[in-house]
Amino acid sequence: MYKVLVTDSISDSGLKALYDHPNFTVEKKSGLSPEEIKEIIKDYDALIVRSQTQVTEDILNSADHLRVVARAGVGVDNIDINAATKKGILVINAPGGNTIAAAEHTMAMMLSLARRIPHAHMSTSAGNWDRNAFKGVELYEKTLGIIGMGKIGAEVAKRAKKFGMTILGYDPYLTEERANMMGITKATLDEIAEAADFITVHTPLTKDTKGLINDDYLAKTKKGVRIINCARGGIIDEAALVRGLNSGQVAGAAIDVFETEPASNQELLSHPNAIVTPHLGASTVEAQEKVAQEVSEEIIDIFETESIRHAINMPQVSGEKQKKLQPFIDLGEQIGILAIQLLKHAPDKIEINYFGELAKEDNDLLTRTMIKGILSYHLSDSVNMVNALHLLNDQGVSFNVTKSPASKGFASYMELTLYNENDKAIVGGTILNGYGARIVKMNEYRVDVRPERYMLYIEHNDVPGMIGQVGSILGNHQINIGTMQVGRAEAGGEAIMVLTLDKQVGDDVAQELVKMDGLRAVQFLELPNGNVPVYNA
C-alpha cells in the first residue's frame, strides 16, 4: 500500500482516482509547519502540495521512502529540486490544469484596473454614491504588452484580442511565425515599454526575470502605464513599483503574487492605485479539480507502471515514445548491470554508443537507465533514474555518449564500455524483431545471448574439450545449462563461453572451473530482473 500525504488545500474530487485506488491511501494534513512535515514524512511514498508548503532540503532528507513530490499546479519554486534530485525523488507538476484560471484572473485584474471596480465596490458598499470618482479607461484599442508568451501568456493574448487590444509579445522562444499565427506582434522589452498601456508578466521567476520590471524599466514605460503580475512575486521589483505608483508613472498595478508570501509590503498592499489578491490565479473549482486529477493519475502511473509525463527533474518522454523505447530501456539497465560485474571494480570512465535507428531517438532516459544499472551494483537502492547522472558526477566518473546512424549489423544497437585504471568491460545489445533482447557483444567477442537471471562468463583458450569439461563440472553440481554460446577472436586463440543457467553458481564451482587447463577467467553474472520478455521492436 502506497501512502500519499497532501499538505495543501487540494480538491477532493480531483483526488478521486487516488482515493478509489486499492493500492493507495491518502492523508490530508493542511497547515503543518516544515518541522511537523519533517517529523511525519518518513511514513509516506508521495507528497502532494500547492504553492504554500515549502518542501525544503530538511524535509526531503528526512524522507525514508518518498518517491514523488507532486505539485498540483505549475510553479515549483517552493520545492528544493536540487535536494530532491540528489535524494532521487521525482518532482512532477500539472502544467496545463490551471492555465485558463490564471489567464482569466489576469483579465479580471486588467478589467478591475481599467474600471477601478474594487475601489468603486468599497466606496459603494460603505454607503457612498460617487459616480465621478471612478471614471475608468477602456481596453478597446489599447496596447497590451505580454512578457512571457507561454501557456498563460498565449491565453491572455487570445482574450485581450477579443477586447480589441493590440498585443505586443516578448518571449525568448517566440518566433515571428508563431506571433503571426496568434495575430500578435513580436516585440522587444523596450518596444513594449515604449508602446504599452498595460503590461502583464507571465514568466517563471528566474535569475533573468527577477526584477525584470525595475526602476530603469519603469522609466522607459509610457506615463500612466498599468501593470499586472499574476505570475511570480519578484518579477516586478515591489519597491520600484511603489515608487512608480507614487510618482504617477504607473497609474495602477494589479498584483496577485508577491516577493514574500503571505504578502507584507504594506506600502504596496494599501496603495490607493493597487489592486491585490492573495495568490488566487489558480483558485477556481475547475482548475483545482484538473490539477489534482492530473497529479493523482500521474502518481498512480508512476507507482503502477513507472510511466512519467511531467517530471521536473528528469527528461520528458511522451507515452508513445516511452513505449517504443521501453525494450531498449529494460535491456539498457541489464547491459549496465552486466558490464559493471565484468569490470568488477568501480569505473572511472563510461562510454555509451548508440547506433542505427536508436541514434535518432532522444536517448536521455535510456542513458540514465544504463547508468542506474551500473551504479546500482555498488550503491544499490540509493540510485534511481532521477539521481543517476548526479551520483555519477559525485563519484567523479566521466561519461560520454555518442550516436551514429551506422547500423553495426542491427537496426538498432547500443554498446557500453566501462573503463578503470587497468581494465575495461564492453557489453553490446540489441532488440531482435520478434525475438526480444539479445546481448551481442561481450568484451571483444561477438555472442548472441538472451539475458537471463543467472549467467556464466568464461574466458579460455580455444582448445578442444573445453565445452565438455565445463558441462561436466556444472552437471556434477546439478546445475542445468539453459544456453551456451562460444565466441572467439581466431581459431586456436583466445575465446569466451557465455552460459545461461537455471540457478546460481557457488564459489566452489567457480574454483573448480578455474582449475581447468586453458581456462583463464570465470565470472558468474546475475541480473536481478533477468529473463526479459520477448518484445516486438
Ligand X SMILES: O=C(O)C(=O)COP(=O)(O)O
Ligand Y SMILES: NC(=O)C1=CN([C@@H]2O[C@H](COP(=O)(O)OP(=O)(O)OC[C@H]3O[C@@H](n4cnc5c(N)ncnc54)[C@H](O)[C@@H]3O)[C@@H](O)[C@H]2O)C=CC1
Q: Does residue 70 belong to the site contacting ligand X (CB under 6 A)?
A: no
Going by their DSSP bridges, the two strands 198-201 and 423-432 should be labelled as unpaired
Residue 110 touches which of ligand X, ligand Y, none (Cβ within 5-8 Å per kind): none
Q: Does residue 147 belong to the site contacting ligand Y (CB under 6 A)?
A: yes
Tell the smallest beta-carbon distance from residue 307 to ligand X (Å): 23
230 and 159 in contact (C-beta within 8 Å)?
no
**Rounded to whole angstroms, how far apart are CA atoms 334 and 321?**
20
Span between the terminal Cα atoms of the chain, in Å: 34
Q: Does residue 209 belong to the site contacting ligand Y (CB under 6 A)?
A: yes
Active-site residue, 279 included: yes
Residue 173 touches which of ligand Y, ligand X, none (Cβ within 5-8 Å per kind): ligand Y
Alpha-carbon torsion angle 446, 451, 455, 458, nearest 10: 10
Q: Does residue 149 belong to the site contacting ligand Y (CB under 6 A)?
A: yes
Q: Does residue 73 belong to the site contacting ligand X (CB under 6 A)?
A: yes
Q: Does residue 157 belong to the site contacting ligand Y (CB under 6 A)?
A: no
The correct pick among 11, 53, 98, 376 for binding ligand X (CB under 6 A) is 98
Give the E-state strand segments of 347-443 in sequence order. 349-356, 398-404, 412-420, 423-432, 436-442
Residue of 105, 116, 226, 279 marked catalytic: 279
**Rounded to whole angstroms, how far apart are CA atoms 368 and 187?**
39
Q: Does residue 256 belong to the site contacting ligand Y (CB under 6 A)?
A: yes
Residue of 67, 105, 116, 232 marked catalytic: 232
**Rounded to whole angstroms, how far apart are CA atoms 535 and 139?**
59
Q: Is the peptide bond before 533 cis (omega within 30 degrees of 0)?
A: no
Q: Which stretch binds ligand X (CB under 6 A): 59-67, 114-122, 279-287, 326-334?
A: 279-287
Environment class of 297 (CB within 10 Å of its CB; exposed 0-12, middle 13-18, buried 19+): middle
**Rounded to whole angstroms, how far apart are CA atoms 475 and 154?**
71
Measured CA distances, 523 to 20, 244, 341, 373, 513 (Å): 48, 74, 8, 18, 10
Positive or negative, the Cα torsion across 244, 250, 251, 254? negative
C-alpha cell at 42: 518518513
Q: With respect to ligand X, which residue has the nearer C-beta, 50 or 142?
A: 50
Tell the smallest beta-carbon distance from residue 203 to ligand Y (Å): 4
Active-site residue, 271 included: no
Q: Does residue 340 belong to the site contacting ligand Y (CB under 6 A)?
A: no
C-alpha cell at 188: 522587444
Residue of 27, 39, 138, 261 marked catalytic: 261
Residues 6 or more apart whose CB falls under 8 angstroms from that of 113 comprise: 198, 226, 228, 252, 253, 254, 275
Q: Does residue 116 belong to the site contacting ligand Y (CB under 6 A)?
A: no
C-alpha cell at 27: 492523508
Q: Which stretch binds ligand X (CB under 6 A): 276-284, 301-309, 390-398, 500-508?
A: 276-284
The correct pick among 26, 187, 257, 414 for binding ligand Y (CB under 6 A) is 257
Alpha-carbon torsion angle 76, 79, 82, 87, nearest 10: -130
Tell the smallest beta-carbon distance from residue 28 to ligand Y (Å): 21
Tell the smallest beta-carbon distance from residue 316 to ligand Y (Å): 13
The correct pick among 56, 273, 283, 420 for binding ligand X (CB under 6 A) is 283
**Rounded to whole angstroms, how far apart are CA atoms 14 and 294?**
8
Q: Which stretch binds ligand Y (CB under 6 A): 203-211, 259-267, 318-326, 496-504?
A: 203-211
Q: Which stretch binds ligand X (CB under 6 A): 147-155, 236-244, 274-282, 390-398?
A: 274-282
Residue 50 touches which of ligand X, ligand Y, none (Cβ within 5-8 Å per kind): ligand X
Q: With respect to ligand Y, which residue has the nearer C-beta, 87 or 105?
A: 105
* Three-class SS state of 3: strand
**Site for ligand X, residues 37 to 66, rule: CB under 6 A:** 50-52
Q: Which residue has cell 505549475?
A: 74
Phi-psi region of 153 (alpha: psi -120 to 50; beta: other; left: phi over 0): alpha
Q: With respect to ligand X, which residue has the nearer C-beta, 281 or 487?
A: 281
Q: Which stretch binds ligand Y (CB under 6 A): 124-132, 147-155, 214-222, 345-353?
A: 147-155
* Chain centroid offset of residue 479 CA: 45
Residue 99 touches which of ligand X, ligand Y, none (Cβ within 5-8 Å per kind): ligand Y
**Site for ligand Y, residues 50 to 109, rule: CB under 6 A:** 74-75, 98-99, 102
Active-site residue, 357 included: no
The correct pick among 5, 144, 236, 282 for binding ligand X (CB under 6 A) is 282
Relative orientation angle of helices 99-115 and 117-125, to the nearest 10 degrees: 60
Q: Does residue 199 belong to the site contacting ligand Y (CB under 6 A)?
A: no
Give the catalytic positions in this structure: 232, 261, 279
- Binding stretches for ligand Y (CB under 6 A): 74-75, 98-99, 102, 147-153, 170-173, 202-204, 206, 208-209, 230-232, 256-257, 279, 281-282
**Which residues sit at the interface with ligand X, rule CB under 6 A?**
50-52, 73-75, 98, 279, 281-283
